[in-house]
Structure 1
Amino acid sequence: MNRRPTLLAAATMTTAAVLSLSACGGGDGDSTDKIAGADSDASGKKKESPSPKASDDGIDRPEIKLPKDVKNVFEGDKTGGPKKDAVLADNARRLDAIDEAVTVDAKTHPALKFYSSGEALLTAADYIQGFRKEGKSFVGTTRYYDRRVTFLKEGVAAVAYCQDSTKTYPKDLKTGKVDRSIPESADDYGFYNTRLRKNAKGVWQTESVTYVEEATKKCMK
């Protein structure tokens, strides 16, 4: 059993994915639909961590609040190059936004569409809907490392990174029970290539994601 399903490159454009997209809301936060799922415990009380520090680049960004028992660790955020650091920061915010949509019960998740577009947005919606179908969420810490930025052309960049989910555990949304018995396996590691494009607001939106299955072993360290 996997701790977390793999975020694959090609999203299946199903009705469920479309509904999930609609429920996640847009960058203007005007959607009134709701994504089921939660960081709630058995009593229905929500557990959220403080919102992340505000951006200092002048961009009006949506808040992202993860539950206290969900954490993402991003290694290599500071490369010494301001442009690369900005790309890595928006890559991290996108991953936080996806996890927020999976683990937090809210009417809208505007950060999802703020940091994703096109194929990557459909992929994220399908991924989130997969948790909903199974009645699952997760807790724990996910590590992202070996994060590398390559600029392809003006306004377009690629980010490759590894994901380590060995410290995350599936949670049953109905009972609130967390399964910590799952042994570590190769399925807990992933290697991704993503393509980002800088939009008119100055945000590096992820527009495509490729999961490189044959390269997973390079991330097992």
Structure 2
Amino acid sequence: MTRRRALPTTAATLTALATLTLTACGGGGDRKSDDIKGVDRATPTVSASSAADAQRPDMSLPSDLQVQFDATRPSDTRHAAALDSAKNYILALNHGITAQDPEGPAYQFYSLGNATKYARGQIQGWVEDDWTATGTDSYYEVRTDDVGSSLGVLVRMCRDQSKFYGKNVKTQKIRYTKESLDSYQEFRLLMKPPQGSEKVWKVLQIEVQGRVKECRR
């Protein structure tokens, strides 16, 4: 988001955390990678099998904010479900910012641990500074990879926030920014599969890298 607060997490940390945390799911398998392209608008994206089983929180956005995903669903059902929840986590984060609610249920529904802490901190920062979001928040060049012998899925995506702006909640004035390398980030989200009575994948860890040249379009 415009407020760039990323947890100091490395890719190695994500892999190690997956190995330590997701061992209960078991199972072997080769690493799989899906390069996915296409266009998807900002609506909650859930698999048909789980949609009827889980009571999902409100993630509506105001009409002046759009979240766009340039991605199509992977053919691997595990990867598709993980990607759905990763996208919903990002939508929930934007919902929390525009709803001005750091303790809202949406991001908590799709996250655990440090990913929950990250979302809460991001939303709290916007609220404390009297800012909400407007414009277009774009995600693309999405890839999914098995992590820790198929125990979890790592979702990676580029982000373009060159048309994503802050709006003061009191004055309604928009703080426009020019496109630059600062506009481009890479998100890495470690997804934990459902366990027990859970119905959805959840973000366990998030890493956000700024000024990523490879993401510039």
Pair in the same fold by TM > 0.5: yes
The C-alpha deviation readout for 1:21-78, integer Å capped at 9, x for no partner, is xxxxxxxxxxxxxxxxxxxxxxxxxxxxx97577622331223111111111111132
Q: Check conservation: 2:182, 2:210, Cα contact below 8 A.
A: no
Identity %: 25
1:175 aligns with 2:171: yes
The residue number in structure 2 matching 1:116 is 111
Matched letter for residue 169 of structure 2: L
1:97 aligns with 2:89: no
Q: Check conservation: 1:7, 1:124, Cα contact below 8 A.
A: no
Distance 1:146 1:154 in 2: 22
The residue number in structure 2 matching 1:126 is 121
Query: 1:9/1:205 Cα in 2 relative to 1: closer, same or farther (>3 Å)?
Result: same
Which TM-score applies when normalising by structure 1?
0.73
Q: Check conservation: 2:102, 2:121, Cα contact below 8 A.
A: no
The residue number in structure 2 matching 1:135 is 130
Q: Check conservation: 1:4, 1:170, Cα contact below 8 A.
A: yes
Distance 1:189 1:88 in 2: 20
1:210 aligned to 189, 195, 207, which one?
207
Q: Check conservation: 1:161, 1:191, Cα contact below 8 A.
A: yes
1:72 aligns with 2:70: no
Matched letter for residue 145 of structure 2: T
- Root-mean-square deviation (CA, aligned residues, Å) is 2.4
Which TM-score applies when normalising by structure 2?
0.74
- 1:33-52 superposed matches below 5 A: 52=44
Which consecutive segments of 4 or more residues in structure 1 shift more than 4 A? Answer: 50-55, 105-108
- 1:152-191 superposed matches below 5 A: 152=147, 153-180=149-176, 182-191=177-186
Query: 1:72/1:107 Cα in 2 relative to 1: closer, same or farther (>3 Å)?
Result: closer
Q: Which runs of 5+ in 2 are unaligned?
A: 10-41
Q: What is the deviation of 1:142?
A: 0.8
Distance 1:213 1:178 in 2: 22
Query: 1:52/1:156 Cα in 2 relative to 1: closer, same or farther (>3 Å)?
Result: closer
Q: What is the deviation of 1:7?
A: 4.3
1:219 aligns with 2:215: yes
Distance 2:187 2:102 in 1: 29
Query: 1:108/1:122 Cα in 2 relative to 1: closer, same or farther (>3 Å)?
Result: closer
Matched letter for residue 209 of structure 2: V
Query: 1:141/1:189 Cα in 2 relative to 1: closer, same or farther (>3 Å)?
Result: same
The C-alpha deviation readout for 1:102-130, integer Å capped at 9, x for no partner, is 00246962121110110111111111111
The residue number in structure 2 matching 1:63 is 58
Q: What is the deviation of 1:199?
A: 2.6
1:9 aligned to 7, 10, 13, which one?
7
Matched letter for residue 158 of structure 1: L
Q: Which runs of 5+ in 1 are unaligned?
A: 12-49
